[in-house]
Structures are given as C-alpha cells and as structure tokens.
Structure 1
Amino acid sequence: MGAEHKIRNAMEVAEEAREEGIFVIPSSPLTLDISLPLPLLKPRVTGLCRELFKKWSHLDDSCFSIETVSGGITNLLLKLSVREDNGNDAFVTVRMYGPNTEYVIDRKQELLALPYLSAAGFGAELLGVFGNGMVQSFINARTLSPSDMTKPKLAAEIARQLCKFHQVEIPGSKEPQLWNDIFKFLESASALKFDDSEKQMKYDTISFREVSDAVKELKVLTDLLHAPVVYAHNDLLSGNLMRNDDEEKLYFIDFEYGSYSYRGYDIANHFNEYAGFDCDYSLYPDKDAQYHFFRNYLQADKPNEVTDKDLEALYIETNTFRLASHLFWGLWALIQAKMSPIDFDYLGYFFLRYSEYKKQKEMCFSLAQRYISGS
C-alpha cells in the first residue's frame, strides 16, 4: 500500500464525517515525507498549514517555527509555533503517521472516534487532516515516564481517567476487535520474507503453529470470563500520557489503536507498559499496586469501599488479558519488522514479548481456571 491509499483514506474519512455531521474540519491531500530532516520538512509543514488554515495563508516563513516533540517507534510529532497578526503565538501539533502503519492501524476508525473523545475531554482537538497525518491543538504538558506511572497518586489519577474513558460512546459496531486484530496479525506475521538473511534466520525459529495454538487457547479462556466490553485506548503506555503539573491535569493522547475491546485488556496492557521499551517485567505492578489502581477505577469517590469480590474479579480479568497483550504486540512487532523503516529491533521485541507470555502463562491460566471453576 502506498501514499495514494493513505490519501484516499484521509479524504474519504473527512467527507464521511461531514456527511454524518460528526465534524467539519479542513482537509488536504498533501503528504509529508517523515524521513526528511527538520530543515527540509519545515517549509512543507508550513505550506500545508497555510493551505489548511486560511488565517495563516498570508504569513511569511519568519512567522513559523517548528520543533520535534517526539519521534517514537510509530509516528513523528512536531510542534508548530505561529506568530499571528495580533503579535501572539499560536501553537499546534502536526502528527505524521509512520510509513506502512496502515497495515496495523485503522486510521478511519481513529479519525471517526477523535471528535467524540475530544468532546468528552480526552486528547487534543482535531483541527485538520492531510494525506498521512493530522493537525491537532497543542497540549501544554509533560510526557510521563514509565516510573511516573507507578507512583500511587498518579496511578490513582490514571485509573479514574481510564474509567471515564471507558464510558465514552463511539458510534458504530460495539463488537470487541481484540481477537479479530490478533488473528489478522497472526495471518500476516506468519507469511513474511526478509531480505536480511540474519533476520530471516531468527524469524524461521518461530513456530507459528505454537503461536496459533496459544492464541486460540487464550481466547477460549478469556471468553469464559465474560469481561465487560468498553471503548478502549489499547496503547496506554507512558508516552501516551501527559500531565500539566501546575494545573494537576492528566491527558490521554494518541488514540490510533482505540477500539471496542475488553476492560481487563486495556488495564493489563497499561500494566505491561510499566516495563518500558526495555521490557523489564520485574516492574509489573504487584497485587497491592493493582488493587490500589482497581479501587480508584471502580469507585473513584469512595475507593476504600470497593468489595473484595469486585477486586478479585478485576484482578483475575486483568491478569488473564495480560497474556493477550503480549501476543498482540509480539505479532504487531513481527509485521513492523518487515514494514517499518524505523531503526528499532522489532524482531527482538517479538521474542521479548512472547518469552514473557510463556513465562507468565501457567500462573495466569491457573488463576483464571480456579476462579471460573469456583474453587
């Protein structure tokens, strides 16, 4: 899939959204080359914003400045500062999608969900879309680190916000997408060919029959839990959490993996991210830390009144879906290892996630099976 596919998606989504009365925002078919150095990228970004926002169309280059906010393993985020006619500075963020991310991300779903999430107080306001990205309002806050998420006060704040997030209603099918996505990733990941012989050798050591059996077995087990289905963030790592410490305000950002999914999966995925990209799973929260999070998630106004029964149920649910998170991101990483030009050891990341799945499987399965049987 090339740039043409992404342009068509962006334009189609903007048009569908207008027809459905969801939002009316400026759109452009232009695409930006994420691989360009910042000095070469600046005139293209400013030209795009002049086209999208007519109030800036007459401003010369000296009125614009640009800096990198982040360059993660999926997207590039830029901060654009604009000196307006009144002498004040306006700020927006320009998010450029990583190359080939349409293989693992439903951009149409993301764009359709954004206005509803923004109206509910989550994330930045969507201001415009272009061929391979979007322009949003600037959030004046710091990005959290994995160690921030472990602090009891912040953990409680994240839990309360996540509960509110899970109550947002997004139009369309309410069917959970987790297992559909995992099976789709499995199909794609099991049919890859690498030009790099060393990568191919590592890839060939993977038993996809074993992985397939693991996916099917876990799905059967999680189905027995009858976990609540919510609109989930699905990627609540530290880089997607921002906080303005002066205002004591927490922000969730980047909803590109958002979909209807299982409550326990979203929480478990967040807990797995305590490990950071180094995958130090010794940092996964212990039972006391999880219960602190659950109390604030289940009953923010009176966390100490949550019943032991409710705590246990959410503990079992979360720690069963903990395994699904490892399978999802492990298979995701295999596809990225083939498709992404970003310098990151995606293949190694698969082995880290799958290894942790195998390490935790017996304990997690045992917990769930005892709970289901009532013993």
Structure 2
Amino acid sequence: MGKVEVLVNNKESGVTQIHLDNKISVVENDVIDKKYYLDCLPDEAKVILKSLASKWKNVLDANALEVIPLKGAMTNEVFQIKWQTIEGEMSRKVLVRIYGEGTNIFFDRANEIRTFEFISKNGQGPRLLGRFSQGRVEEFIRARTLSAPDMRDPTVSALIASKMKEFHDLEMPGPKNVYLWDRLRNWLSEARRLSSPKEVKTFHLDIMDKEISLLEKELSVSPNRIGFCHNDLQYGNIMLDEVTNSVTIIDYEYASYNPVAYDIANHFTEMAANYHTETPHVLDFSKYPDLKERQRFVQTYLSSSGEQASDSEVQQLLDEVEKYTLASHLLWGLWGIVSGHVNKIDFDYKEYAKQRFQEYWSRKNNLLTPHGLSNVNVISGRKTLASMISKKSTKSPLVDSKNTKSPRISRKLKKFLGLGLFRSKH
C-alpha cells in the first residue's frame, strides 16, 4: 500500500479526503477512527478477542469487532469492544485494559490479577476473560459508570457506603498488613529519583519523608480499623445498575489492606475531581462533602451490617477520616509527580500534583495536633519547627512583634515549608 496522508478532515460533513498512491479518495471519518483504534490493540489482545467471540453463537462475525475508547482513565488505556449480534439481540461487549507505560512503579500487576480473580469469585466485580503481556480482557458490566455529580446524590452515596463496607469486610488471602506508609515512601523515592533538583525543591520532596513520618505517628495514635481497601474509589471506578439499584466497584490496581478511614477519606477527596472535562486535572475542593454529607455517609457505612451505629462511633470515624485526607493528598501528589515522568496519557499530572500538595499544606495545621508538629516536622538538623515558633524574643523573625502572645511563622519560613503558599478552597 502506498503512503496515506490526511488532506482534509471535515467534521461537519463527516468525511475525510485522503491521498493514496497519487489518487484522491473520500471516506467516512468513522472508518478512519475505527481503523486507528483497532490498531491501538496489541496483536495478543486481538487473538484473545476473536477467540472469545468465535465461541459466542449469537455473534455474526468474530472478526468484525468495533473498538471504542473510554475517556477518564489516567493510568491505563481502556477500550470497549463490541460485536454485532443476531437481529433483536443486544451486541456482545467486553472491556480491554492496556496498562499505561511505566505504571508498574505503582503496583504489582501479578498481585492485582490475584485480587481481581478473588473479588470476581466473591461476586464483587467483573470476570477476568483473558490476559496478555500489556493488559487484560474483562467482562463488560451492563451498568453505567457514575459521573462526578452522582457522587453527591444521597441515594447513590448510600449505595456506595454500603458497598464499601462490604468490600472492606472481604477476607483476602495473604497478610493483612497496612500498606499505606510503605506505598507513600516507595512513591516518594521514585518521585525523587525521576525529578530534577528544581522539581524536588518546588514540590518540597526533600522534606516529604518527614511529613510521611508525621502522618504515620499522628494517625496511628488511635486504634484504626483495618480492612481490604480499594484505595482509588473515584466515580469512574463505580458502576450503577439502575434496574437492580446496585453498585459494583471495579479496578483494583491500588487495592490493599489499609485503615478503612483512609479509603473513606480518599473517596471524599475524589469528589473534588471531574475527569470528563476539557481540563480533567483541575480540582475544585469547594466540592468536598460538607459535614452533613460526611455524617450521612459514615452513618450508613457503620450501620450497613444491620446494627445502628452510635453517635460517638460516627464522630470517631469522622475525625479519623478527616486526618486521613492528608495522606490521600500526599499519595496522589506523589503519583502525579511520578506519572508526569513515565505516563504519556494526555493529562497534566504535575499540575494535578501541585493542587494535591497545596491542599495538604493548607489543611495540615488544622487537622494535626501541635504535639505531632513539634516532634516530627524538623526544619534542620538542629531545630524543630515548634522550638522556632516558641521563641518569645521580638527580635526573632518568626515572631510577630505586634503580638508576642501568638507567635506566627514568618512569610520567608512559610515559603520554605510550603505553608501558606496555597489557599484552601474550603
């Protein structure tokens, strides 16, 4: 075949002129799109898909598959595969997930597949239909993926709360150790390794290990309930069957044992996102659920097993959840830094990271106790932040000379720490 060049792509008329061996041809735009997306699939995946379709008696032609890209994925590329069926029957569909480049940094794919298969056997998600070196083929769930506004719907939110409790109670094989802190440190190590000295300074990666230790110490004070957590419960990972009025949680790449308060906190912070806009990386933290919404969610979560939760139980979990939002901001901020270096998906990862970090710094002092700050947030090898703040001398640049009873951190030090660099949207 000769060289093909697109000359005119007219979206209004739906046709494209192409130059093929010195001849001008006119073809429908969707023909070009179908060919392009089909070529996106690895050959291994095509073999699996054709093998599956050939076993389904109602498929008209196993080779005539349609490939439809699904938007909103930031780690992998996801495609819906569809075949025409006998007249009057619904088309046969499956899902193909192609792993993003460099994403093995974030999780163990073999462990993810084991989790996927276990959850599927327990009726919690889609079936695994096939595996290839760059991804997998999954059962297509005939339900709709939630949208960002759905997360705020009280009825849908209650379904999510109950399903999350059910998910947390799964008895996964293997050790039940908290993975959050190891994951934070591993991702920090990768972020530092990949970043330039300027990026390290800009995102405060040089002091982030102290922040992680601070959080681990502060959040480990109370006895946290540990459960099998999804760890990425954004709206795109929740399917709603409007016929049965039930939800299904999908995509278990980040799933592991963790404090359940962290999983709930992560779910709440995801309400600031809408990944289906022209600027999917932009977060709006004014959409973080208010106290009434959080109380309703936690009350439903705790009572979903049948026993009504007390006010004190609800309040305790709410307090834990708020603190764990800080861990969520740090984790996904680091994810953004690493992804910006290794992933080629069209998403402004570093701007996303910046917003996550700014929310961490703006909320940190209100959520953590002074005791935690004084012992962990070390500014240099000789002085802690608390000792610097506690100086009473009006000559100190850290003290507001107009109010020595309420010393304030100087603008210069705030800039160094990353404190006050960003404004909270709450």
Tell me the TM-score normalised to structure 1 length: 0.80
- SS of residue matched to 2:286: helix
Name the counterpart of 2:128.
126
Work out which of the residue numbers 328, 338, 341 in structure 1 matches 2:344.
341
Letter in 2 for 1:292: R
Residue in 2 aligned with 1:67?
68
Instruction: Confirm whether residue 235 of structure 1 aligns to residue 245 of structure 2.
Output: no
**Aligned AA for 1:77?**
V
Residue of structure 2 in register with 1:330 after alignment:
333
- 1:286–1:87: structure 2 CA closer, same or farther, 3 Å change rule? closer
Task: Tell me if structure 2 keeps the 8 A contact 1:65–1:80.
Answer: yes
Q: Identify the residue that residue 212 of structure 2 maps to in structure 1.
A: 215
The aligned residue for residue 100 of structure 1 is 102
1:268-315, Cα deviation, whole Å (9 max, x unpaired): 000000000422111111221111001110112668x42111011101
Amino acid at match of 1:122: Q
- RMSD between aligned residues: 2.6
Of residues 277, 290, 295 in structure 2, which corresponds to 1:291? 295
CA distance in 1, matches of 2:102, 2:205: 23
Q: Partners of 1:42 and 1:205 in 2: how far apart?
A: 38
The alpha-carbon distance between structure 1 residues 53 and 367, as it changes in their structure 2 partners (threshold 3 A), is farther
Question: What amino acid does structure 2 have at the position aligned with 1:64?
Answer: L
**In 2, distance between residues paired with 1:98 and 1:294?**
34
Decide whether aligned partners of structure 1 residues 85 and 153 sit closer, same or farther in structure 2, where only a CA change above 3 A counts: closer
Sort the Cα spacing of 1:164 and 1:338 in 2 relative to 1 into closer, same or farther, 3 A: same
Q: Deviations over 1:143-187 (max 9, x none)?
A: 112221111111111000000000111111111111000001111
Residue pair 2:72, 2:236 contacting (<8 A) in 1 also: no
- Residue 150 of structure 1 corresponds to 152
Q: 1:50 to 1:360 in 2, by over 3 A?
A: same
2:354 maps to: 351
Q: Percent identity?
A: 32
Whether the 8 Å contact between 2:54 and 2:62 is mirrored in structure 1 is no
Distance 1:313 1:266 in 2: 15
Q: Distance in 2 between matches of 1:114 and 1:225?
A: 31
Q: Is the 8 A contact 1:56 1:84 kept in 2?
A: no
The one-letter code sitting in structure 2 at the alignment partner of 1:332 is W
| Structure with greater Cα Rg | 2
2:261 is aligned with 1:264:
yes
Equivalent residue in structure 1 for 2:243, among 236, 243, 246 = 246
Q: Give the structure, 1 or 2, with the largest relative contact order (CA under 8 Å, sep 6 or more).
A: 1
Corresponding residue of 1:40? 39
Unaligned runs of 5+ in 1: 1-35, 195-199, 370-375
Q: Which is further off, 203-212 or 175-184? A: 203-212
One-letter identity of the residue aligned with 2:55: K
CA distance in structure 2 between the partners assigned to 1:258 and 1:213 by the alignment: 25
Q: Is the CA contact 2:146–2:238 (under 8 Å) kept in the aligned structure 1?
A: yes
Structure with the higher helix share, 1 or 2: 1
For 2:368, what is the secondary structure of its paired residue? helix
Answer whether contact 1:163 1:297 (CA < 8 A) is retained.
yes
- Structure 2 distance, partners of 1:83, 1:242, is 24
- Are the structure 2 counterparts of residues 310 and 112 from structure 1 closer, same or farther at C-alpha, using a change threshold of 3 Å? same
Mean Cα deviation higher: 41-50 or 348-357:
41-50
Structure 2: distance between partners of 1:78 and 1:257: 20
1:116 to 115, 118, 124: 118
Q: Residue 312 in 1 paired to residue 315 in 2?
A: yes
User: Residues of 2 paired with 1:141 and 1:368: CA distance?
Assistant: 48
Equivalences, count:
328
Matching residue's letter, 1:38? Y
SS of alignment partner, residue 193 of structure 2: coil
Query: By how many angstroms is 1:53 displaced?
Result: 7.0
Cα 1:109/1:86, change in 2 over 3 Å: farther
Distance 2:290 2:304 in 1: 20
Question: Which residue in the other structure is 2:304 paired with?
Answer: 300
CA distance in 1, matches of 2:326, 2:201: 23
Distance 1:343 1:68, change over 3 A: closer
CA distance, structure 1, for counterparts of residue 143 and residue 297 of structure 2 = 23
Segment of structure 1 superposing worse, 342-351 or 177-186:
342-351
Distance 1:122 1:351, change over 3 A: same
Further displaced range: 184-193 or 321-330: 184-193
Letter matched to residue 81 of structure 1? K
Q: 1:90 to 1:53 in 2, by over 3 A?
A: closer
| Distance change in 2, residues 1:365/1:193 (3 Å) | closer
